[in-house]
Structure 1
Amino acid sequence: MIIGIDLGTTNSAAAVFRDGKAELIPNSLGHNLTPSAVGIDDNGDVLVGLPARERQSTHPNLTATAFKRYMGAKRETRLGKKLFSPEELSALVLASLKRDAEAYLGEKVTEAVITVPAYFNDKQRKATRRAGELAGLKVERLLNEPTAAALAYGIHLLDDESQFLVFDLGGGTFDVSILEIFEGVIEVRASTGDARLGGEDFNDLLVNDMRYKFRDDWKLKSGEEDALREKLRASAERARRTLTNASEASMDVVWRDTAYSHAVTTDSFEALAAPLIERLREPVLRSLRDSQINAAALKEIVLVGGATRMPVVRRAVTKMFGRFPSQTVHPDEAVALGAAVQAGLKARDVALKEVAVTDVCPFSLGVATGERDASGHVRSGLFSPIIERNTTVPVSRIEVLSSLQDGQSEIEVEIYQGESRFVVDNVALGKLRVPIPRRPAGEIFIEVRFTYDINGLLEVDVHVPATGERRQLVIVDEDGPSGADLEKQRKALEALKVHPRDADTNRALMARANRAFENHLGDVRDHIARLISQFESVLDSQDPRLVERARTELSSHLDSLEGETWL
């Protein structure tokens, strides 16, 4: 069985294509979205999803979120006694989605199409693939999120030639893709974006604003930073969501047994957000330039990603294009549904007509070169693109280079990914050395061929015509484990004790109640304490009917205090 997975910064989701349509797979709580959160409970068990996220403000040192932003980076997060890499944390989320899918579908899930931001570089994509493998999945394909959203929109069902722009602003990343459909082919014409811009950054604006307001009251002691920040993050997220449909919201935080409140209006939030809104413009303009498509020729502007719910973002998009964007796809669910469509195409589902989906290379690929200046000195460290960004893949390109020094005995070919003129600002992918005859500078030429496929695999072939010498290199994940080491890492994650699925509902509710207790004072706090005690007593009875009734009552009380649980 193959499924589609949206591995998101804030939330993740799984979907399957069956009975002629894409269908979301609910998790153990019955929700279509699973928070991308991992935590360790008081017994050392692993919590994934809502039970983990609800503990973030009360147990910041035992909870991790937004780790997708660090995929491909050498960064570790300590949870309790164990250190986790971003791909290991992502693997725990993927494994949870896999278990939920198997429980829902009644069969084993072995393969997946996993989505990634269009602007993820090579290291980030390889880390995502490795996370899937650590979760016990064969990653059939990595699909760009805007492309998945387009499939969810249904452009694979259209017969006429059309061009679309997908504007995808999620919790941690921003992507823009322009797609064209013609004669059964969906071709991505351009993909750009900002891998460090999303809803979390808009939350940070509110967090920093409130911290500045109470800077004289909050003199933090050592070890208090994480605890305060997580309280503020949760309050900022709720306030930002409130501003979607209201003109004013309140950020309320209890710190050191004192209640603090900070009013946020639509106008004040938009003023804070102005620099971030401006950052949305350049990727849009770059995508139009790279695709050579005029904005007026676009049939639709499709909004995807939870952060596009913000009125300030929708107004900015409307202003950019001079028309209202399409809101026909669910911003949080479209990517997972599109991944399921791609999974259905991979499985050759009879309900899907033959559609070819092409993609592009999101970053330029090239080599480090040098040049002689007017005085004859060699200036090294320059980037020479061989495959430029937004070239349709699969693709093969060749570049001819020459020696720079008299008597060189070898040429070192350094491979990079990026857009900067200087390789130091780009991402190093690998290097190889090839021997050459010792001749005067410029007399020996080498042919460097780059071949890049649909799954992001880059093969480099270097040929020296003068000697017939040939060297090849396939860019692999040098930073990550492979073979036996990967299997060892997978088994170590598998051995972690994960909290049982059937207890997720009660654990998530208890975590939420304890968070509410910390966030209130006086009579309200006493009332919450009594509700928690009553619920714990009912849990001890192990009577399913009583537990269900008590859970409903406690949820209702918490909803009346702070609004419904958000995903």
Structure 2
Amino acid sequence: MIVGIDLGTTNSLVAVWQDGAARLIPNGLGEVLTPSCVSVDEDGSILVGRAARERLQTHPTASAAAFKRHMGSDKRIMLGQRAFRPEELSALILRSLKEDAEAALGQPVTDAVITVPAYFSDAQRKATRAAGKLAGLNVERLLNEPTAAALAYGIHQRGSESKFLVFDLGGGTFDVSVLELFENVMEVRASAGDNFLGGEDFVHCLVERFFAHEKLAPAYRNDAQFMQRLAAQVELAKRALSDAPRATIRVADGDAEFSMELDEAALEKSCEGLLARLREPVERALRDANLVSSELDNVVLAGGATRMPAVRRMVARMFGRLPACDINPDEVVALGAAVQAGLKMRDAALDEVVMTDVSPYSLGIETSKPLDAMTFSYGHFDPIIERNSVVPVSRVRSYYPVQDGQRCLEIKVFQGEARMVADNIRLGQLHVPLPAGARADGGVDVRFTYDANGILQVEATVQKTRETLALVIEGNPGTMSEQEIAHSLAALSGLKIHPRERIEHRTMLARGERLYQQLRGKAREHMGNQILRFERTLETQDQRQFEPAAKAFLEVLEYFEQQSVLHSED
């Protein structure tokens, strides 16, 4: 069984292709969205999902979110006394989704199609593969998120011909893909994006507006609990504007209370720089696809951040039409991943569907250029595979030393679009020994091969000796070696993961702790007593008491949650 997984910045989902259709698999709480959050509980056990998200506000130093943005880097994230790599935290999310799928399907799950932003780099893709391996999954395919969204839509249009653009704005990344559907072939024409533009950035802009509006002291920025509470309230207000003309952001700190009214005009003013940044990748993708917006048959929205009216208005203005949002934007990528899983399993209902993708980046090496007979200009980028080349793709180009008698050639590999390598991303380096002789005898054929998973292989063949060297790109600081993966796998296996069957109770307690910190006076005291009562019931280990106690505690939580919402709308 192969499952499809949307490993998101804010939320993650798992889906499966069954009985000729893609379906989402709920987690232990009965929800299809699992927050991409990890927390270490007081007893040292690991909490994943909504329970961890609730603890972001109450235990910010023991909880983590939005770590997808650091995939492929050497960043370490401290949770309590332990440092985690982004791959390890992502692996804990993937492991939780794997267990949910196994519980729902009643069979082991060992293989997965995992989606990644189309603009993810080589290092970020390798990090995602490593996370899958750490979670006990064989990653059958890394699928670009806009392509997955297109599959979810396009599968219903087989036999038709259309050109459409997928506008995918998630919690942490932004991707654009232009696709063409013809004769049951789904062809990606071009992709572009921004790996540091998403819903989290809109929240950050509104947090900055709140600080300016309330003239808050800089010391508040160092208060992790206050900042998490503020970010949570900003997120709620941002979402509320999807259905209401205005919302109130209200945050308490002891006896002090701060508030700010927010409407759509204020949001657009605060985030105008981010809205402007959404345009450039769209224009680049259309240029690379040799299309103008009027030639598109449809514009498809994906990613939870596209729910913002400001974003939808901007898209409508750019394309002169309302975008398609027939499928829930939070779910569309996971459903497309399940379609790809069905293709991998060669499901009969999908036999006629063929899909092609492209390389989102240009890939090449550093070269020098002669200025005259004796002088060279160094550090130039020479693309071997141009961006938006159809994958899999293999290209070869010949290079020569700059002087006679040169005994080696340094092949330095980069990705990016800038003219100089200093402005691109370095991927690795290959040291190629050359035979003695004139520079003409030192020619080297450099072959780049880029596969459907977005993984690059580099080979250099000395023309005179036919000796070939291969580059395994593992030198980036964010790429885990096989030894590091094995060590991390052993360390993760030793972690105490909170039992899936008890996660509902732990989530309720975390929610109660969050509300306790928000409340004051008698309401706060009442909430504390209710938490204590529920904890004591759980400690009895009497299963007969669990259900009525959980029901009563949930009613208390819902009541105070509703009171909080009503208060914020005053």
Select which of 223, 242, 245 maps to 1:244: 242
Question: Which of residues 377, 380, 392 in structure 2 aligns to 1:379?
Answer: 377
For residue 175 of structure 1, what is the aligned residue in structure 2? 175
Residue 300 (str. 1) matches residue 302 (str. 2): no
CA apart distance, 1:98: 0.6
Opposite residue 139 of structure 2, the aligned amino acid is V
1:551 aligns with 2:549: no
Q: Do 2:163 and 2:178's aligned partners in 1 also have CA atoms closer than 8 Å?
A: yes
Cα RMSD after superposing both structures: 2.0
What is the rounded CA distance, in whole Å, between the counterparts of 1:527 and 1:275 in structure 2? 45
Please report how far the alpha carbon of residue 530 of structure 1 lies from its aligned counterpart in structure 2 after TM superposition: 4.0
**8 Å contact 1:36–1:65 — kept in the other structure?**
yes
Q: 2: CA distance between counterparts of 1:40 and 1:402?
A: 55
Shift of 1:200: 0.3
Instruction: Give 1:257-268 correspondences, 5 Å limit.
Output: 257-268=255-266
**1:340 alignment partner, SS class:** helix
What is the alpha-carbon distance in structure 2 between the residues aligned to residue 40 and residue 474 of structure 1? Answer: 35
In structure 2, the CA distance between the partners of 1:224 and 1:457, relative to structure 1 (3 Å rule), is closer
Equivalent residue letter for 2:159: D
Task: Give the Cα–Cα distance (whole angstroms) in 2 for the partners of residues 101 and 441 of structure 1.
Answer: 59
**Deviation larger for 438-447 or 226-235:** 438-447
Q: Hey, what does 1:500 align to over in structure 2?
A: 499
The question of 1:489 aligning with 2:515 is answered no
Alpha-carbon separation, structure 1, partners of 2:26 and 2:475: 33
Question: Could you tell me which residue of structure 1 aligns to residue 194 of structure 2?
Answer: 194
Counterpart-to-counterpart distance in 2, 1:505 and 1:534? 16
- Contact kept in structure 1, 2:515 and 2:561, CA below 8 Å: no
Give, in whole Å, the separation in 2 of the partners of 1:348 and 1:440: 54
User: What one-letter code is carried by the residue in structure 2 that aligns with 1:504?
Assistant: I
Q: Could you tell me which amino acid in structure 1 is paired with residue 232 of structure 2?
A: A
Query: Are the equivalent residues in 1 in contact too, given 2:125–2:455 (CA < 8 A)?
Result: no
**Cα distance change of structure 1 residues 219 and 174 upon mapping to structure 2, 3 Å threshold:** closer
Range moving further from structure 2, 344-353 or 84-93: 344-353
The 2-side partners of 1:100 and 1:159 are apart by: 35
TM-score by length of 2: 0.94
Letter in 1 for 2:57: S
| Partner Cα separation in structure 1 for residue 83 and residue 3 of structure 2 | 29
Identify which of 222, 225, 246 aligns with 2:223. Answer: 225
Task: Choose from 556, 562, 565 the match for 2:564.
Answer: 562
Is 285-294 or 256-265 further displaced after alignment?
A: 256-265
| Alpha-carbon shift at residue 538 of structure 1 (Å) | 4.4
Measure the CA separation in 2 of the matches of 1:472 and 1:206. Answer: 48
Superposition pairs of residues 213-362 of structure 1, within 5 angstroms: 213-216=213-216, 218=217, 220=219, 224-362=222-360
Give the 3-state SS of the residue equivalent to 1:56 in structure 2. helix
Cα distance in 2 for partners of 1:476, 1:73 equals 12
Bigger drift between 269-278 and 460-469 goes to 460-469
Give the aligned residue type for 1:329: I
Give the percent of matched residue pairs that are identical in Structure 1 and Structure 2.
Answer: 50
Q: State whether residues 254 and 518 of structure 1, in contact with CA within 8 Å, keep that contact through their aligned partners in structure 2.
A: no
User: Does the CA contact (< 8 Å) of 1:168 and 1:308 recur in 2?
Assistant: yes
Unaligned ranges ≥5, structure 1: none
Deviates more, 1:439-448 or 1:313-322: 439-448
User: What whole-Å deviation, never above 9, does each CA across 1:12-55 have from its counterpart, x for those lacking one?
Assistant: 00001111111100000000000000000111110000000001
User: Hey, what does 2:27 align to over in structure 1?
Assistant: 27
Shift of 1:446: 2.6
Q: Is the 8 A contact 1:126 1:477 kept in 2?
A: no
Q: Which moved more, 1:98-107 or 1:510-519?
A: 510-519
Structure 1 residue 213, shift from structure 2 partner: 2.7
1:345-494 maps to which residues of 2 (within 5 A)? 345-373=343-371, 376-439=374-437, 444-476=442-474, 479=477, 480-494=479-493
Which secondary structure state, in structure 1, belongs to the residue aligned with residue 114 of structure 2? strand
Q: Which range is displaced more, 405-414 or 443-452?
A: 443-452
Contact (CA 8 Å) 1:400, 1:448: kept in 2 or not?
yes
| 1:533 CA drift (Å) | 3.9
CA positional deviation for 1:466: 3.8
CA deviation string 1:467-524 (max 9, x = no partner): 4443333435765444454233212212200111122112112211211221233344
Q: 2 CA distance for matches of 1:499 and 1:558?
A: 26
Normalising by structure 1, report the TM-score.
0.95
Shift of residue 66 of structure 1? 0.1
Counterpart CA distance in 1 for 2:342 and 2:243 is 37
Shift of 1:537: 4.7
Shift of 1:295: 1.4
Aligned to 2:166: 166
| TM-aligned CA distance change 1:547 to 1:408, over 3 Å | same
Residues in 1 aligned to 2:27 and 2:299: alpha-carbon distance in whole angstroms: 31
Q: Secondary structure at the match of 2:164?
A: strand
**Amino acid aligned to 2:325:** Q
Unpaired stretches in structure 2, ≥5 consecutive residues: none
Q: Is 1:403–1:443's contact at 8 Å kept on the other side of the alignment?
A: no
CA distance in 2, matches of 1:255, 1:190: 49
- CA distance in 1 between counterparts of 2:311 and 2:480 reads 40
Matching residue of 1:509: 508
Hey, what does 2:48 align to over in structure 1? 48
Which residue pairs with 1:203 in the alignment?
Answer: 203
Deviation readout 1:275-320 (Å, 9 max, x if unpaired): 1000000000000001112211211100001000000000000000
1:405-448 deviation per Cα after TM superposition (whole angstroms, max 9, x unaligned): 34312211111111121212222222222233455556743322
Cα distance in 1 between the residues matched to 2:283 and 2:263: 30
Report the secondary structure of 2:548's partner residue. Answer: helix
Give the deviation of 1:545 after TM superposition: 3.4
- 1:351 is paired with a residue whose SS is helix
Asked if the contact 2:474–2:481 (Cα under 8 Å) also holds between the matched residues in 1, the reply is no
Asked whether the 8 Å contact 2:428–2:475 carries over to 1, the reply is: no
User: Which is further off, 240-249 or 539-548?
Assistant: 539-548
Contact kept in structure 2, 1:254 and 1:520, CA below 8 Å: no
Moved more, 257-266 or 466-475: 466-475
How many residues align? The count is 562
Residues 119-158 of structure 1: pairs in structure 2 closer than 5 A: 119-155=119-155, 157-158=157-158
State the partner residue of 1:90. Answer: 90
Cα distance in 2 for partners of 1:269, 1:554 equals 33
